Amino acid sequence: MWNNIEIVVSFIIFVGALIFAVYSFYNNSITAGIGALIVTTVNIYYIVQALRDKRKEREDNY
């Protein structure tokens, strides 16, 4: 169950960071936009790792 909550929260942070990055580039704030893109990239990596762990845990239960 906690794995699902982690994935959902991470996805919400991903969407928020992506929206903030687009808004920052729109406002010509390149530094903030690049920072938000870095956060988005790290968050994508975290989501992929959590999904892999969830899949492995599910396979181990069968």
Kindly report, residue by residue over 25-47, the tens digit of the pLDDT: 999 999 999 999 999 999 999 99
The tokens of 12 are what? 């919400």
Please tell me the predicted confidence (pLDDT) of residue 1. Answer: 66
Say if residues 32 and 24 touch (Cβ distance below 8 Å).
yes
* pTM score: 0.79
Contacts 24+ apart (CB under 8 A), 50-54: 50/3, 50/6, 50/7, 50/10, 51/7, 53/3, 54/3, 54/4, 54/7
With a pLDDT cut of 90, the percent of the chain lying above it is: 65
Please tell me the predicted confidence (pLDDT) of residue 19. Answer: 94
Q: What confidence tens digit (pLDDT) does each residue in 8-31 have?
A: 999 999 999 999 999 999 999 999
Can you tell me whether residue 60 is helix, strand or coil?
Answer: helix
